């Protein structure tokens, strides 16, 4: 049973993420979307909101499981007995950061391998940070996030204002 873990903040989940997930699925038996729960980091959605939303969004895909984790990724990976990490790469800025994380994670947990998927050019301009900025300034984010996520984002924004 090949279990792969796609960790991240997913604040929010974008088409950039969902495209990586669709491409990673044929490479594993089970794909765990691992949402980091970091109370120090301010996020638009709470981790419980993300859990509920993304569970509903992927409910038809039996190979996908949604979990949250806190602390070190390598500790979480060992706890769930998984050794494959999936990450997407959009550009050289991502590469520098991701390379450092992948090598460090492997030092901490030598069985771990990180597999990178190069973002499709259609999605490589999408970043969760930009999505939140556009949303906060009432721009249209529908080309960048799934409809269900867009609806939840707008509801959250309305509650915050």
Facing residues of 49 across strands? none
CA count, 13 A, side-chain hemisphere, 82: 23
43 binds ligand PNS (CB under 6 A): no
Q: Establish if 134 lies at the interface with ligand PNS (CB under 6 A).
A: no
Instruction: For residue 130, state whether it binds ligand PNS (rule: CB under 6 A).
Output: no
Q: Which is nearer to ligand PNS, 67 or 101 (CB)?
A: 101
Chain residue at closest Cβ approach to ligand PNS: 8
Alpha-carbon gap, residue 144 to 141, rounded angstroms: 6
Phi-psi region of 42 (alpha: psi -120 to 50; beta: other; left: phi over 0): beta
Active site annotation includes 17? yes
Contact 155, 64 (CB under 8 A): no
Q: Are strands 84-89 and 64-69 parallel, antiparallel or unpaired?
A: unpaired
Determine, following the binding rule CB under 6 A, whether residue 8 of this chain makes contact with ligand PNS.
yes
Could you give the 3-state DSSP secondary structure of residue 156?
helix
If the CB atoms of residues 37 and 141 are measured against ligand PNS, the closer one turns out to be 37
Which is the catalytic residue, given 59, 60, 90, 107? Answer: 90
Pick the stretch among 6-14, 44-52, 132-140, 143-151 that binds ligand PNS (CB under 6 A): 6-14
Residue 73 vs 84, nearer CB to ligand PNS:
73
Residue environment code for 87-123, b if the CB has 16+ CB neighbours within 10 A, otherwise e: bbbbeeebeeebeeebeebeeebeebebebbebeeeb
Binding flag, residue 104, ligand PNS (CB under 6 A): yes
List the one residue from 101, 115, 130, 157 that touches ligand PNS (CB under 6 A). Answer: 101
Q: Which residues bind ligand PNS (CB under 6 A)?
A: 7-9, 36, 72-73, 101, 104-105
Residues taking part in catalysis: 17, 41, 90, 128
């Amino acid at each position: 049973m090949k279990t792969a873990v796609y960790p991240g903040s997913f604040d929010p989940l974008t088409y950039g993420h969902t495209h990586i997930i669709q491409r990673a699925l044929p490479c594993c038996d089970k794909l765990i979307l691992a949402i980091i729960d970091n109370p120090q980091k301010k996020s638009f959605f709470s981790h419980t909101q993300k859990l509920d939303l993304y569970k509903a969004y992927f409910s038809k895909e039996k190979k996908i499981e949604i979990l949250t984790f806190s602390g070190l990724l390598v500790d979480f990976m060992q706890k769930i007995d998984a050794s494959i990490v999936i990450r997407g790469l959009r550009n050289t800025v991502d590469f520098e950061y991701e390379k450092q994380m992948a090598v460090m994670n492997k030092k901490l947990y030598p069985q771990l391998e990180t597999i990178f998927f190069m973002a499709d050019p259609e999605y490589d301009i999408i970043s969760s940070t930009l999505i939140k900025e556009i949303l906060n300034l009432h721009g249209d984010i529908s080309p960048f996030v799934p409809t269900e996520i867009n609806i939840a984002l707008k509801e959250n924004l309305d509650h915050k204002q």
